[in-house]
Structure 1
Amino acid sequence: MSVDLPEFSAGFCSRLRAALLRTGYDADGVIDVLGGQAHAALGRGEPEPALRASTEAGELGTLIRLFLLGTNEPADAVSAAIAPVALDDAIGSGLLRAGPRGDTVRAGLDLRPHGDDEGSWWVLADLDSEQSGSPVREDHVLGVGHASLSLVRATTRRPVDTVLDVGTGNGVQALHASRHARRITATDVSARALALARATFQLNELDVEVLRGEWFAPVARRRFDQIVCNPPFVVGPPRVDYVYRDSGLDGDDASALVVRQLPAFLNEGGVGQLLASWLHVAGEDWAERVSSWLPPETDAWFVQRDVADPALYVGTWLRDAGIDPRSAEGRAKAAAWLDWFAERNVEGIGFGFVTLRRTSAEPVVVCEDLRQAYDDPLGAEAGRWLDRVDWLRDHERDLLDTAFVVPPTVLLERVDEPGDEGWSTTIRRLHRTDGPGWQHELDELATALLAGCRGALPLSDLLELLAVGHGQDVDELTRTALPMVAELVRHGMLLPAGGQLT
């Protein structure tokens, strides 16, 4: 593993922060210079519009081209843009690299703004293979990528005292945790990651406890209100090509390890949220596989967002590391990886989000597919899902005495087909238009039952009326209806009247 580390003193970070503030190099400033179209083009990997837009933007334009476009810039222009940081100090720290003749410089690290609805931060990371023009190093520290952003969106943001960020990488999860937590601890096995994360925290004037070590070892015998984890979840042979993605554990053992160990580091009622991967093995139910990882006294919600074909999976991760799958190295790695999958009868690789909660009550474990597209962040939904689980647990014995309502965001869709006697309904689908867009197919009786859920009558009365109206046995109808009602409540598609849940 490479051991040379970037060096950022507190004083250097303070001066760099002053330069970034002075030039307006933040999320809003970049968009103001580039405009919406050029900014969107840059996100698609098309730099030319951004290059043109930044030409007349002065020192801010210099920083945009330097760090976001990866261009070589005149040394005197960069020196002016990063003042009061001395150019030699920026080069000595690893932030910048001098050109061959010393009259130009280029980025040595990725330094870019990252914002949310409340403001903007700066994140330090390594250059990716496209930026550097070479394969990434073993201890490469990723920037803010799709996986990081998906975990940001999947994390519940409720005020807590303590948050633990396991495998912090560049520190982005800790940045977001600073919006809702009083104290934050960030850990990583990589010294390089911690060096960059520490600099990120100093740049943003955040007081974060930074500890080095594997998994949960740095926080032994401690507990937290919330834990977030973006582990090295790539599945395959037990090797470590790149620390940010490979755990050295066999198959999906890295995800299993985090799921098994995380709840022990939560306070009662504390919540853990992570990205995870799991194998789809021929003849095996993926839900049973991931459920077997759970320790006792743990509520769990496994949400599967995607299932990848092994060949596609291998090609994707080879390209992620800057390795051409057509090269000799790429073909050798792909062959070994695909052989490993074949020997274990792996048909696919599942990927998704896991929400865990330490509980002293009877645990609730739910595994479900959520592969449809949706816009709302899953984190808010995860918090409400836990609330609804609590409500169901508290009201398990009196569901029949509860009056329910169908929220206004839930619609009923019908699919009719023509017949000899006109149109007949073949599909009745309940569709929640907010959150993750849950859908449930209903039969005629369930549709009629939900039509009566207007908050006026308890469920027992509605079932009795339905039984009489359709010639059904009320006890059998009740046995069938209660599991359906519970599932609809968990998905926020049926709620108790009176605003107890949202």
Structure 2
Amino acid sequence: MLPHFPSALTDALRTALRRAGYTTDGVLGLLGHDAHAALGRGEPEPAYRATRDAGELGVLVRLLLLGSAEAEPDVTAALAPAPADELVDAGLLRRDGTELIATLDLRPHADEDGEWWVLSDLDTPAARQDRDHVTGVGGASLTLASATVRRPVGSVLDLGTGCGVQILHASRHAGSLTATDLAPRALALAAATFALNELEVELLDGPWLEPVAGRRFDQIVSNPPFVPGPARVDYIYRDSGEAGDAALAGLLHALPGHLNPGGVAQLLGSWLHVRGQDWPDRVRSWLPPGVDAWIVQREVTDPALHVGTWQRDAGLDVTSPEARRQAGEWLDWLEAQQVEAVGFGHILLRRLPEGTDTEPTVVFEDLPGALEDPLGPEMAGWLDRVAWLRAHASDDALLDARLAVAPTVVLERYDVPGSAEDAGWSEAGAAVVRADGPRWRHEVDAPAAALLAGCRGELPLSELLALLSFAHDRPVDELVAATLPAVREFVRHGILLPVEGWPGPKEAGR
């Protein structure tokens, strides 16, 4: 049965959740940081203890977050004015004797600007094994949301919306909201999530870009089914039905055609590392002309880890005969395709304005490990810096520019053990490092360090190089040839910021 929440019931449920304080702050305040952290680790007992004698909010936390069966009179009181019978009919609850149990996941979700509620399927091993399972606020959706550029736009498309998490975040900065999905259960849960949060969203049924054929948007976000494997669909949320990364290849080729000039698309993706092929070359071949692209590879897994990770994600017992049979078929397919590893990461695309006469910027970078800061501001900064570099593509234009070292950049010098004559240490090198965002790091020699020290936004780059030429007794032409490629990389990574002509929200040095 598909969930169905009539508008009157949705209004009553919203009233109940607000009255009980069932919000992110309300739940955190009730549980406390320790019990909340334990719940995030999958340890529910501290949360159960914290909800003792906690009134209606305690009932809702146990019922909706902890999966507890609660006495019907208590649930009726906590969810008033939403009638319990109607919530059972809608698919949110079920009866077990004199108790009620949640059959859907209903939880608060927030960012720095607002608060929502999200309806999805339960996140239990048994529920995840359902072919039509609709995931909730999980790691992938949070990863994409934290990496998305948040600037005012006229229109946003969420391709494959699932339960609608990306649309919730987009509602803060987009004039119109469109979401698509091909799964009836996902469409039903997304519709309920949008209604519960009083959002007007155009919700369309159909695969991939078919529902928006002929249309363009200012921004597209997507957490598509990106898990490479044989051409089958075990779980709609992860499997595309096409073999390997063919679905991602087709999507990257088609997406820019649905962007307005200057429009941006962001998605998560996974690509194969095939023996004898360079993976950036494979992904680059999928891109149409006229598109800036930044592909950030966050992790690379071997085939066995890839298969095991996604089997556990589906709630399977990887030691069971059925899971072993599936894993064997999957690994056989990967081996037949000569797959050595599987990459995963972020893809950022921008359709260039019509008439742009310079080549698009296509960059592939590895960014492994945990990130301390959200990637969204860095994505926005990359777009700005690449646009500035395009406007200053000639050497003369770059030499005329005034640049300033970003305020978060530090210079690190490091030594290595040396001989007794040099007090046990020898100077080994230096690097400039950004202390925010992805913590970009660049090794620098003495002239490069001196050049960066002079970049205070006061002199054009040409004059700084002339001074450097005199100080280091090197021909200025030689310095220019050696320095400009590095300067472009410093700008692209936000080590150096332009003082003038900056397309971002504010200019460096102001």
Query: Above 0.5 in TM-score?
Result: yes
Q: How does 1:86-485 map to 2 (within 5 A)?
A: 86-99=83-96, 102-130=97-125, 133=126, 136-359=129-352, 360=354, 361=356, 362=358, 363-397=360-394, 398-417=397-416, 418-419=418-419, 420-422=421-423, 423-485=425-487
Give the share of equivalent positions with the same residue, in percent.
59
Give the letter aligned to residue 43 of structure 2.
Answer: E
1:22 aligns with 2:15: no
Cα distance between partner residues in 1 of 2:175 and 2:76 = 37
Question: CA 1:161 to 1:262, structure 2 compared with 1: closer, same or farther past 3 Å?
Answer: same
TM-score (norm 2): 0.94
Cα distance between partner residues in 2 of 1:323 and 1:105 = 27
Deviation at 1:135, TM superposition (A): 5.0
Deviation at 1:290, TM superposition (A): 1.2
Give the letter aligned to residue 323 of structure 1.
Answer: L
Greater mean deviation of Cα atoms: 440-449 or 376-385:
440-449
1:39 corresponds in structure 2 to 36
Greater mean deviation of Cα atoms: 5-14 or 177-186:
5-14
2:74 corresponds in structure 1 to 77
Cα distance between partner residues in 2 of 1:264 and 1:98 = 49
Give the letter aligned to residue 250 of structure 2.
Answer: L
Deviation at 1:477, TM superposition (A): 2.2
Deviation at 1:160, TM superposition (A): 0.8
Which blocks of at least 5 consecutive residues in structure 1 are unaligned?
none
Deviation at 1:190, TM superposition (A): 0.5
Greater mean deviation of Cα atoms: 106-115 or 86-95:
86-95
Greater mean deviation of Cα atoms: 350-359 or 284-293:
284-293
Deviation at 1:455, TM superposition (A): 2.3
Which blocks of at least 5 consecutive residues in structure 2 are unaligned?
none
Q: Is contact 1:404-1:454 (8 Å) kept?
A: yes
Cα distance between partner residues in 2 of 1:77 and 1:237 = 48
Q: Note the alpha carbon deviations across 1:206-234, whole angstroms, 9 max, x for none.
A: 00010010101001111111100000000
2:5 corresponds in structure 1 to 8
Greater mean deviation of Cα atoms: 192-201 or 279-288:
279-288
Query: Structure 1 residue aligned with 2:493, among 488, 491, 494?
Result: 491
What secondary structure is seen at the aligned counterpart in 2 of 1:5?
Answer: coil
1:51 corresponds in structure 2 to 48
Deviation at 1:315, TM superposition (A): 0.7
Q: Note the alpha carbon deviations across 1:41-63, whole angstroms, 9 max, x for none.
A: 11110101110111111111111
What secondary structure is seen at the aligned counterpart in 2 of 1:294?
Answer: coil
- After TM superposition, the runs of 4+ consecutive aligned structure 1 residues lying more than 4 A away are none
RMSD, matched Cα: 1.4
Give the letter aligned to residue 448 of structure 1.
Answer: A
What secondary structure is seen at the aligned counterpart in 1 of 2:62?
Answer: helix
TM-score (norm 1): 0.96
Greater mean deviation of Cα atoms: 399-408 or 291-300:
399-408
What secondary structure is seen at the aligned counterpart in 1 of 2:149?
Answer: coil
Give the letter aligned to residue 466 of structure 1.
Answer: L
Q: Is contact 1:129-1:321 (8 Å) kept?
A: no
Q: Is contact 2:388-2:501 (8 Å) kept?
A: no
